[in-house]
A and B are shown apart, each in its own frame.
Chain A
Amino acid sequence: MSATETFDAAKARPLWHRIVVRPESVTLLLLIAAVFVSAWLSPFFADLRFVLESATFYIEFGIIALMLTLVVVSGEIDLSVAATMALSACLFGIAHRAGLGMPVAILIGLGSGALMGLFNGVLVTVFRLPSIIATIGTMVLYRGIAQVIAGDRSVGGFPDWFVGIDFIAVGIVPVPVIIFVVLAILLGLVLGSTLFGRQIYQTGTNPIAARHAGIRVDRLKMILFTASGLTSAVGGLLMASRLGVVRYDLATGGELQVVLIVMLGGTYIFGGRGTIAGTFLALWLLIIIQTGMTVANIAIEAQLTVLGLLLILAIISANAIYAGGRR
């Protein structure tokens, strides 16, 4: 046999190497380190209940980050998620105030979110705009509409059963955390084990080759953007429930939090690589670090510095690992 074979054999990485050396492992290591440091800084961290309660502040972004992971793996990005949260929550609030009844109002909130996602998908697949540009546009647009319709005031007056979902718990686990875990398992299966998930990876790796292989790339992206809008609306409703009111500036700047979680989880910003497990771990990392630092009385500015450094560390290690696997 020719030398090509020996070269290929020499270059191939052993299986254990492929399994262990991956960006999610870095996220996991950071998470373990963060737990130990936080527990050392504050005895509160021995209390799982405290951690879970703190989690509810971040879980809305976490849910959206799970869905955004699929979008990013497909080679796109959605920066309008926080604005979608705000607009869908405002539409829900206004519908309720108009006396439409809670079920209808919730449907309006969710449906409008899906439509906003669909519109992003149309901009990307029909008008061929780069998604980073298109969704920066709709980020401003959706937030603007929210301000026009909701004005500068808070919209509230929701029934008691709707308010404070974060205080409802099964055992010690708050409902939003359960939603997050269930969605993570669901989307983990979709991305990791289904033909649709495989097509997401293939599309993100090489959209032209994907189309040649018979994948309906545009339809796939349309589905992902719509799902991203719908998930954002769910996040918006959860936030409305937690706060008891909605405002046009709900979740301002949230898109960066969401992208930060996805990146911390080792998902490759240019598509084709990333896992739900990574995003799942990254959310807990963020929660532990943020609450850990708050409990340890670290100033908010210093917290941002730590987060920034962490993000850069995660991206560098993810890039290094991906570059290693490429050759």
Chain B
Amino acid sequence: MTETDGPLVETRGVAKSFSGVEVLHGIDLDLRAGEVHALLGENGAGKSTYAKILAGVHRPTRGEVTLAGQPVSIGSPLEAQRLGVTLIHQEPLSFPHLTVAENLFVGGEDTGVLGRVPWRRMAAEAERLIGALGVTIDPQAVMAGLSIADQQMVEIARALASDTRLIIMDEPTAPLTPREVATLFDIVRRLKAEGRAIVFISHRLEEVRALCDRVTVFRDGALISTAPVADLTDDDIIRLMIGRPLQEYLHKEVASLGDEALSVSGLTRGGAFADVSFSLRKGEVLGVAGLVGAGRTDVARAIFGIAPAEAGEIRIHGKPTTIAEPDDAIAHRIAYVPEDRAIAGIFRTLPVDQNITAAAPRSIGAGPFISPRREREIAADAIDRLSIRLASVHQPIGELSGGNQQKAILARWLLTDPEILILDEPTRGIDVGVKAEFYDRINQLAAEGRAVLLISSDLPELLTLADRILVMSEGRLTGEFSRAEADQEKIMQAAVPRSAA
């Protein structure tokens, strides 16, 4: 497969502008066959734009791309596919109602007479491709019924169907469980051994360290540095990414604990979680660890009234409470920053100020009417306090970067002056700089005497911030550790389902 000694892909001076603003400045980069190359950088640093140029989604404004020594122009994803370049999206962009086999051959010209579909040959070929990845997925299964991990595998199999030489993975591990990540890594290593080039975009340094050969760091649309992973420490990488050393990135301020703010006992909802009991005190950060699908989010949604529990009791400040709707939860001064910002958080096309004030309508109301002046003031104040970066409060929130959207959602809940905050994966998919701001903020919220329930799949994050960590597995609590006794190994032991161990 390695036909030349030179790099498989070379880009020289590749730049991209959107509506006159250059977002990517003259990138010179080589990608070699048989290497896994990490692209790192804060959101908006230009790494995804660069990846999309390679994949034919964007055309470069200037600069050139050579593939195996030949200058190429990659005008569309289909052309990229013909040249052997495939982009695997984080959330696979497949056809959810078609079967795995049909998805594998979408875009193929392999039809029979009059465009007849060779179903039998397709099924056999699908079986072969999926088998080659060492995973078991039924080719006749409907795509929508698969886990995200399996959908990714199908995308990878599709890349292999067209004999791909360069595979670009844009944050593939974000939605995966640790075990699925391990499977993905095995496959990536196999693809590498076959002499393919892999570009791996991720926010997780430990993954980059485990998998990648070289790292390229992007910042502000420019390439800052390319080096072998082994030559850089984590601190080096973070400094390159944010352009300054990060002091006290991981720190905890221990707040004094007050009375019990929230307790649940025997909380149960069929198929989601069973017999969950815990209590949370004022000033405490209670971490909840577990694999994706362990029921952590379901418990949060039950407490917040989105999908209430069928059995069990919720007490707020010791008083038994019924919460049937989020509205009830808000009345009891509970706030919930949801896991999926795009679906359950933002109003994409509405202005930033209207997004920020959404959960505290009374603060901007004058009787039934809205006071635009008060809304503007309150929003401006929140934007200032959380240092949300934006051009105007009238800007649709969808125009902001992910980290700033997340800050706006946090601002929305802080306006309700909550006593109990449930944060569900608050820093997922946001870059290191903003993450540090969130850590400071969570410390501060606890110091103000608020009770924080922090659900996170990022173990270092939990170990840093939490006073106590609960572990859930398959809908049940399987562990509880104090700050002193918790470590990654103990938590994972409790998180991995017994039945499957």
Contacts and interface: CB of A to CB of B under 8 A. Distances in A.
Interface of A: 1-12, 15, 18, 193-196, 198-199, 201-202, 205-206, 208-216, 272-273, 322, 325-327
A206 B347 contact: yes
Contact of A2 (B220, B306, B344, B412): B220
Contact of A4 (B338, B396, B404): B404
Contacts of B391: 8-9, 11-12
Given A1-B389, A2-B433, A7-B21, A198 B354 contact: yes
A205 B44 contact: no
16 contacts: A3-B219, A3-B220, A5-B389, A8-B389, A201-B350, A205-B350, A208-B344, A209-B346, A210-B347, A210-B358, A212-B338, A213-B358, A214-B359, A215-B327, A325-B349, A326-B396
A325 B397 CA distance: 11
B43 to A, nearest CB: 7
B437 interface: no
Q: Is the interface of B mostly helix, strand, loop or mixed?
A: loop
B44 A213 contact: no
Given A2-B44, A8-B391, A196 B368 contact: yes
Nearest to B351: A18
B133 to A, nearest CB: 34
A202 B360 CA distance: 13
Contacts of B304: 212
Contact of B368 (A8, A194, A209, A216): A194
B404 A213 contact: no
Contacts of B23: 3, 7
B389 A213 contact: no
Interface residues of B, number: 52
Interface string B386-404: 0001111011101111001
A1 B388 CA distance: 12
B343 interface: yes
Interface in B321-365: 325-327, 329-330, 336, 338, 343-350, 354, 358-359, 361, 364-365
Contact of B392 (A3, A15, A193, A206): A15
Given A2-B42, A12-B391, A213 B348 contact: no
Interface in B82-109: none
Contacts of A215: 327, 358
Given A202-B354, A327-B399, A212 B404 contact: no
Contacts of A18: 394
Contact of A216 (B20, B325, B399): B325
Interface of B: 19-21, 23, 42-45, 219-221, 243, 304, 306, 325-327, 329-330, 336, 338, 343-350, 354, 358-359, 361, 364-365, 368-370, 389-392, 394-396, 398-401, 404, 412, 433
A250 B398 CA distance: 45
Contacts of A199: 361
A215 to B, nearest CB: 7
Nearest to B304: A212
Contacts of B364: 195
Contacts of A322: 349
A209 B326 CA distance: 11
Nearest to A12: B391
A120 to B, nearest CB: 22
Given A205-B348, A206-B347, A8 B327 contact: no
B44 A3 contact: yes
A73 to B, nearest CB: 12
B345 A209 contact: yes
A6 B391 CA distance: 8
A216 B358 contact: no
A322 B395 CA distance: 13
A214 B327 contact: yes
B233 to A, nearest CB: 23
B373 to A, nearest CB: 13
Contact of A213 (B349, B392, B412): B412
Contacts of B325: 211, 214, 216
A154 to B, nearest CB: 43
Please name the 4 residue pairs, one residue from A and one from B, whose CB atoms are nearest each other, closest first. Answer: A12-B391, A3-B220, A213-B358, A214-B330
Contacts of A216: 325, 327
Contacts of A7: 21, 23, 44
Contacts of A198: 354, 361, 370
Contacts of A9: 391
A5 B391 CA distance: 7
A233 to B, nearest CB: 24
Nearest to B389: A5
B370 A211 contact: no
Nearest to B345: A209
